[in-house]
Chains A and B, each alone.
Chain A
């Protein structure tokens, strides 16, 4: 018990570092992964911006990143991280590789939730003479919204897991704490505490995500 009290300030810091890293990565996932996912969808065969080349290239790049295990991506991206944020340790550095992993992950989820939309609804919008941009903004995004939010929840939870891996190379956050105290110092109490903290965090994210997805679903 004492050891927990002793470490409380560090636990607190680690918690917010995790939130920070995951938050940045989620933001980047929405900013870049969402447009990429939509691109994958609308360039598909039979859709209003059908483009085999575009779809092929974007698809290959996404698969390329997704096929690299995160722990390797982490190391692989060190020079890039250093160039971008000037350091390779700490939560800011970790959020770079988390973001790179989050973009293709979320893009694929966006693509698959857009596929759930009845093509007829999109066709009806084409028949009405709407521009591609309008169809994306007014039809695809609102119709896919529940799926997009559920997908964001899935991404967030995966990122929490990834962020612990980032801890192994000094990324900060709950994972870092677990490794330093739990693994290197054989302190099981700290280890369990961090695990419980992660469980609570994941549960909260899941609950919150489900709640919002349900609230926006008009079906």
Chain B
């Protein structure tokens, strides 16, 4: 659906040349929710804005739904932009227009007739659950409601793609959840391809099918979200994953440890507890679970446990080998 080829965006001033996006190529499939993660200044926002040419790349090819956007005249580009919805961190609603008028504006821009416009706005506001707020002004709405209005506006002209620029970063956790649920529903029911940029791994975990991690204008890692979470390669990706899956043991506890500290990671729906209890029965070792968590990455569980194994060194080694055969990743964290 979206094809970015060798996108580079440079900002040239008199003194220096700043590279915002450095030769990035990405392909985003139809119907997928794609996340772009990175710290602020990583170039993710610039990259997103290159997709609908709010920012014109210095070089590269931008293809959306088979159309090369950089070849278009400004009039043709306006037409294409109507099929690429966009929502922002700051909502950017028109304060002097009611909720109804804000959504209707997008339809007006596309030249939709007034009678059809009215029906469509009502439809859209029902979709985002704000049909009873139609005649209020943005100042009377909460942050989550404002974002819902901006989603309705972005969806007005039946876009094929929805771009989300830190759409949940200004919202509290509960509201974030409800907005993400709405985006998920839009993706599922309307089949709209969604690109989300965020610095919150929670968002990626919750809804992204695939994601890319960006640093200094480059994509350092890309893949299905589950793979990124279960097996991050780049140090930056690991750091991001730690924000969601962090296993810090209190230093007091580590001091008291006698056995071997192992970290077990179960992928998919492996029966974690059964494997561990089998291991404890087969070998003469004692096991203490010190930390454990099962994360659901879009309904697929990812279990991580930290255990202390006590016993004869040889027996412990054999127990670890046993686990290695059955569990996706076993890491020996520390020797006691």
Q: A218-B137, A218-B139 are in contact. Are A125 and B95 (CB under 8 A)?
A: no
The answer to whether B54 touches A143, judged by C-beta atoms less than 8 angstroms apart, is: no
- Kindly report which residue of chain A lies nearest to residue B110, judged by CB atoms: A129
Query: Looking at chain A, what size class is its interface with the partner chain?
Result: 20 to 34
Most A C-beta atoms less than 10 A away, residue of B52, B94, B110, B157? B94
Q: In whole Å, how far is B327's beta carbon from the nearest beta carbon of chain A?
A: 47
Query: Looking at chain B, what size class is its interface with the partner chain?
Result: 20 to 34
The answer to whether A127 touches B86, judged by C-beta atoms less than 8 angstroms apart, is: yes
Q: In whole Å, how far is A181's beta carbon from the nearest beta carbon of chain B?
A: 47
Q: A129-B82, A131-B109, A138-B105 are in contact. Are A124 and B95 (CB under 8 A)?
A: no
What B residues does A134 contact at CB under 8 A?
108-109
Q: A130-B78, A143-B96 are in contact. Are A123 and B109 (CB under 8 A)?
A: no
Interface residue? A90 (CB, 8 A)? no
What A residues does B95 contact at CB under 8 A?
121, 143, 218-219
Candidates B109, B110, B156; contact of A125 at CB < 8 Å: B109
Interface residue? A145 (CB, 8 A)? yes
Mask of B79-105 contacts with A, CB within 8 angstroms, 1/0: 111101010101011111100000001
The answer to whether B96 touches A130, judged by C-beta atoms less than 8 angstroms apart, is: no
Query: Which chain A residues numbered 94 to 129 have a C-beta less than 8 Å away from chain B?
Result: 118, 120-121, 123-129
Q: In whole Å, how far is A163's beta carbon from the nearest beta carbon of chain B?
A: 33
**In the complex the two chains form, what is the Cα distance from A131 to B82 in whole Å?**
11
Interface residue? A59 (CB, 8 A)? no
The answer to whether A125 touches B105, judged by C-beta atoms less than 8 angstroms apart, is: yes
Interface residue? B204 (CB, 8 A)? no
Interface residue? B106 (CB, 8 A)? yes
Q: Give the dominant DSSP class at A's interface.
A: helix
- Kindly report which residue of chain B lies nearest to residue A138, judged by CB atoms: B105
- Across chains A and B, the number of contacting residue pairs, with CB separation under 8 Å, is 77
Candidates A130, A143, A145, A218; contact of B109 at CB < 8 Å: A130
Q: A218-B139, A219-B139 are in contact. Are A128 and B109 (CB under 8 A)?
A: yes
Interface residue? B9 (CB, 8 A)? no
The answer to whether A131 touches B139, judged by C-beta atoms less than 8 angstroms apart, is: no
Q: In whole Å, how far is A133's beta carbon from the nearest beta carbon of chain B?
A: 11
- Kindly report which residue of chain A lies nearest to residue B82, judged by CB atoms: A129
Candidates B84, B88, B157; contact of A124 at CB < 8 Å: B88
Mask of A196-212 contacts with B, CB within 8 angstroms, 1/0: 00000000000000000
Interface residue? B218 (CB, 8 A)? no
**In the complex the two chains form, what is the Cα distance from A96 to B94 in whole Å?**
37
Candidates B82, B88, B94, B106; contact of A142 at CB < 8 Å: B94
Interface residue? A195 (CB, 8 A)? no
- Kindly report which residue of chain A lies nearest to residue B89, judged by CB atoms: A120
The answer to whether B78 touches A143, judged by C-beta atoms less than 8 angstroms apart, is: no
Q: In whole Å, how far is B135's beta carbon from the nearest beta carbon of chain A?
A: 12
What B residues does A125 contact at CB under 8 A?
94, 105, 109
The answer to whether A129 touches B96, judged by C-beta atoms less than 8 angstroms apart, is: no
The answer to whether A123 touches B54, judged by C-beta atoms less than 8 angstroms apart, is: yes
What B residues does A126 contact at CB under 8 A?
54, 81
**In the complex the two chains form, what is the Cα distance from A19 to B108 in whole Å?**
40
What B residues does A127 contact at CB under 8 A?
52, 54, 81, 84, 86
Interface residue? B150 (CB, 8 A)? yes
**In the complex the two chains form, what is the Cα distance from A219 to B94 in whole Å?**
10
**In the complex the two chains form, what is the Cα distance from A65 to B15 in whole Å?**
35
Candidates A120, A131, A138, A142; contact of B90 at CB < 8 Å: A120
What B residues does A219 contact at CB under 8 A?
95-96, 139
The answer to whether A124 touches B86, judged by C-beta atoms less than 8 angstroms apart, is: yes
Interface residue? A31 (CB, 8 A)? no
List 25 A-B pairs, Cβ < 8 Å: A118-B90, A118-B92, A120-B88, A124-B153, A125-B105, A126-B54, A127-B52, A127-B54, A128-B81, A128-B105, A128-B109, A128-B154, A129-B157, A130-B105, A130-B108, A130-B109, A131-B78, A134-B108, A139-B105, A143-B94, A143-B95, A218-B95, A218-B96, A218-B97, A218-B137
Chain A positions near chain B (C-beta within 8 angstroms): 118, 120-121, 123-131, 134, 138-139, 142-143, 145, 216, 218-219
- Beyond the given pairs A129-B81, A138-B94, A138-B105, 7 more chain A to chain B contacts, judged by CB atoms under 8 angstroms and listed by A's residue number, are A128-B86, A128-B153, A128-B156, A129-B80, A129-B157, A131-B109, A134-B108
Chain B positions near chain A (C-beta within 8 angstroms): 52, 54, 78-82, 84, 86, 88, 90, 92-97, 105-106, 108-110, 137, 139, 150, 153-154, 156-157
Ranked nearest first, the 8 interchain pairs of A and B with the lowest CB-CB distance are A130-B109, A129-B81, A129-B82, A124-B92, A120-B92, A142-B96, A127-B86, A129-B78
